[in-house]
Structure 1
Amino acid sequence: MMHNGATPTPDRLKALYREALASGRLEPDAAQAQCVDALDAFGRDATQQKSPATTKLRSAIRRRVTRAGPGRGLYLLGEVGRGKTMLMDLFFESLDFRQKRRVHFHEFMQEILRALNSPQLRQKRYDDPLAELAWRIAQHNRVLCFDEFQLNDMSDAVVNLRIINLLLAAGVHIVMTSNTHPDALLHHNRQAQTTIRPLITKIMAHIRVITLEARRDYRRARDMAENAWRVPPDAESREIFTRIFREISASAPAQAHLQIGSRQFPIACSGDGVARCQFAELCSVMSGTAEFLALAARYPVVIIEDIPQLSSDRYDEALRFIRLIDVLYENGTRLYASSDVWPENLYPAGENVTAFQRTISRLEEMRSRSWHDLPGIS
């Protein structure tokens, strides 16, 4: 029986996948085909699932009781560039109902944190504000698709895992992509093994892990755009970026400020649709996802100069750079950069070096001709 007016199209995801193969956008890949089968079955279950009554929904969230057994979520695991995001996007497109959302996990968590700190939520003085937020989200979303799920520190992890657990309790179907196995999340943090690991185990009891072992990184081996990544950051590079800035912006460079809540984040060199920044201005200060989202929202073109090779003792800067590139990539930002080294040598060793592989792969795509020729980017 169908609900909320949803009528699933048989094998709709498989049909979209075949169309992508026929058009040449994708190449045949056995691992991806198996993942499509799993996503297709998952989508059928999500479509046929009856939405719970409001009172039962709120009760389930408050009691933290997951209303279904294993199968409520899918965790697409794989190395960088193997097509996880592409497959999730096809899955999202295949869902023939409106109560769905696809969002980068960093962006979603920023929304949660802003909502938790909002005057409206604070004035109501809920016993559990996070549970209240989960209830509101579940009322409008039967499926949530989170791209690039990752836990980077203890403080964020507690909120991240609690909201996922509450959404599962509400009966929301969740799809996540990640290049980190659930068992390896925060594995370097000893405190996490006693405080966070039990919650991860509880959540994963309701989520199926699918490993995407595609044979190649589809982002690499591309035709690269001229001047998208300059080595080294010398006078010639600065002159080229000055010319690019002038070609894009109709106004002279000037200082600007991005408004993030009650705070302001300075952009030393701002123009019409383009920002020119030093690496240190973005990643050597107390910046984070909120600042990077504001940057991407305002500027379709970003120039980052003087990116150093990052050693293990510069872990905080490496983590900020990972988040910065994630946000710029997700927003289709056109990137120009100068660095001491090529992307594959930016962070050769240290904590989170595995996560940095995703950043390298994304940088390879972002300096390709196809990326710089994206429609809508002047």
Structure 2
Amino acid sequence: MRAVIRAVKKFRPAFRGNSIFGEAARKQDIWFDMNIRSLYSLSRNVGAYRCRHPSYMISRVISADATKVTNEEVSRDGPLVEYERRIAAGELLDGDACQQGTLGELQSLYDELVANAEACRLDRYATSEKAGRSRWLWSRFIPQTSYAPVKGLYLYGGVGTGKTMLMDLFYDQLPCNWRKKRIHFHDFMLNVHCRLQKHKGVADPLEVVAGELSDDSILLCLDEFMVTDVADALILNRLFRHLFSNGAILVATSNRAPDNLYEGGLQRDLFLPFIATLKERCVVHEIGSSLDYRKMTMAEQGFYFVGRHLSSLLNQKFQQLIGEHVATPQEVEVIMGRKLQVPLGANGCAYFPFEELCDRPLGAADYFGLCKNFHTLALEGVPIFGLSNKTAAYRFVTLVDVMYENRARLLCTAEGMPVELFDRIVTIAEAKQMARRTSSRSTKSDVSDVCVDNELGFAKDRTISRLTEMNSRQYLEQHAEMLADKQAAVA
């Protein structure tokens, strides 16, 4: 190993390059930043650089040598070790047995992946793109399956139990040279639909898309796995059948148990085979914490104002954030050529009446495009949700999910506190309990506007929790740090 490092130092002056991320990391001309302690540190904070010198082929030698590190040495790290380190440092609370049990599952998966990295084809440098194309061409004539020897993991539980934190902790410990991707489920499905549009006219576009996805990332970490759209439900079974056949390994978090996914949805009978496939290829584990960690960081000050009459205050706060800039109508581009009209925007901040953003036929793609162009959203007039505005409630839930994933800041005026906004949204089980309690409507004078919807009824708890956290001091400090990092990167 020392000889290899000396060889690297000798050749290092011959290289120069620029940082690359995402799909670009699939290219063969990759060099590792050597401002690290040793090649054992490949799993953490390693910068990848594009080589500009013909002798970049030596990088393959270094990569091959790095893979010879013994499993015992690699296994010294992992999500459980990092979790304990964060508790010791006071970064996490101690004593949650449910989280520790989940960490045991994640650590077991981590150890299995490390031990079977070669069999799972996790190292992106071990197989050339040419070989990948040859396998794809050969499979056109002789259908092949190559299930991974390691099962994935499906984590589900209530809101605020730390699912996303635990999966991120697991993902951050994985070696950087692995074919892996961590992505929100909304974003993942948008990516799939974009690829399907690109391959329109192909005999089986889902097979092609699955081939592209698995070639880029054999280990998929999907956060907030939820199915509410019939179009998504109808393609998931065939998509993941192809992905798993290509050796893909899934790690997912969700508020719903697999058997409860897309419950009550249109044509659910066509979705049921996916549930069986999911349980076959993943270990299912429930996180049963009674704590909601998001609500433990209540804000002493925030930007959530109750009362429609406070629109002038919202406008005042918006003007303070844009400073000397002048807010004007803008147009932002989202995926597949779509464009979104922004009533007022300036200095990374956008202003919308609620109706403009949630009462129009918009979806996750539009909200992702919005967050890509604006880090702060001022939303005026969020109503109490019920049967009369059920569709708007679905869009608001999606908007909050996308903003939370992008660590965007929300300013809003609303007719009630987060829990009050969804008071009329109930699940089927809750509706049955309400019917037993009274037949005289004494408990709810506005029972006619109660919306009985299982998907929305389960999603509301997540949205209430996230709205609470997004109004907390800790979240706003994280948002400020994110902006500072982006400004420093630009400078």
Q: What is the TM-score with the length of structure 1 in the denominator? A: 0.91
The Cα RMSD (Å) is 2.2
- TM-aligned CA deviation for residue 133 of structure 1: 1.6
Aligned to 2:330, the other structure's residue is in SS state strand
Question: Given the alignment, which residue of 9, 31, 34 partners 2:101?
Answer: 34
Residue aligning to 2:9: none
Question: Given the alignment, which residue of 89, 93, 104 partners 2:168?
Answer: 89
Residue deviations 1:266-307, cap 9 Å, x none?
111111110011111111100001100011111111111100
- Which letter maps to 2:474? S
Residue aligning to 1:67: 147
- Higher radius of gyration, 1 or 2: 2
Distance 1:213 1:257 in 2: 44
Residue aligning to 2:263: 187
Change (3 A) 1:245 1:159: same
- Which letter maps to 2:327? P
Residue aligning to 1:23: 89
Distance 1:218 1:27 in 2: 10
Q: Is the 8 A contact 2:161 2:287 kept in 1?
A: yes
Q: Could you list the runs of 5+ residues in structure 2 that have no partner in the other structure?
A: 1-62, 122-130, 426-451, 485-491
Residue aligning to 1:102: 182
Distance 2:113 2:144 in 1: 20
Greater shift after overlay, 320-329 or 25-34? 25-34
Aligned to 1:188, the other structure's residue is in SS state coil
Q: Which has the larger helix fraction? A: 2
Aligned to 2:155, the other structure's residue is in SS state strand
Aligned to 2:189, the other structure's residue is in SS state helix
Aligned to 2:308, the other structure's residue is in SS state coil
Distance 1:67 1:60 in 2: 15
Distance 1:113 1:157 in 2: 12
Residue deviations 1:111-152, cap 9 Å, x none?
11111112xx34xx5321121121122122231110000010
Distance 1:326 1:60 in 2: 39
- Which letter maps to 2:311? R
Q: Is the 8 A contact 1:74 1:210 kept in 2?
A: yes
Residue deviations 1:197-220, cap 9 Å, x none?
123212321111110012300000
Q: Is the 8 A contact 2:368 2:402 kept in 1?
A: yes
Task: List aligned pairs for 1:242-253, cutoff 5 A.
Answer: 242-249=315-322, 250-253=324-327
Question: Given the alignment, which residue of 58, 78, 95 partners 1:12?
Answer: 78
Residue aligning to 2:298: 223
Distance 1:238 1:90 in 2: 40
Greater shift after overlay, 199-208 or 109-118? 199-208
Residue deviations 1:231-289, cap 9 Å, x none?
1121xx22322222222223212111121233321111111110011111111100001
Change (3 A) 1:367 1:58: farther
Q: Could you list the runs of 5+ residues in structure 1 that have no partner in the other structure?
A: none
- TM-aligned CA deviation for residue 176 of structure 1: 0.5
Change (3 A) 1:9 1:96: farther
Aligned to 1:266, the other structure's residue is in SS state strand
Q: Is the 8 A contact 1:116 1:130 kept in 2?
A: yes
1:240 aligns with 2:313: yes
Distance 2:404 2:303 in 1: 14
Q: Is the 8 A contact 2:258 2:278 kept in 1?
A: no
**Count of residue pairs brought into register by the alignment:** 368
- Name the % identity: 28
Aligned to 1:101, the other structure's residue is in SS state strand
1:117 aligns with 2:190: no
1:276 aligns with 2:351: yes
- TM-aligned CA deviation for residue 65 of structure 1: 4.3
- TM-aligned CA deviation for residue 56 of structure 1: 5.3
1:131 aligns with 2:204: no
Question: Given the alignment, which residue of 225, 237, 246 partners 1:161?
Answer: 237
Distance 1:64 1:316 in 2: 43
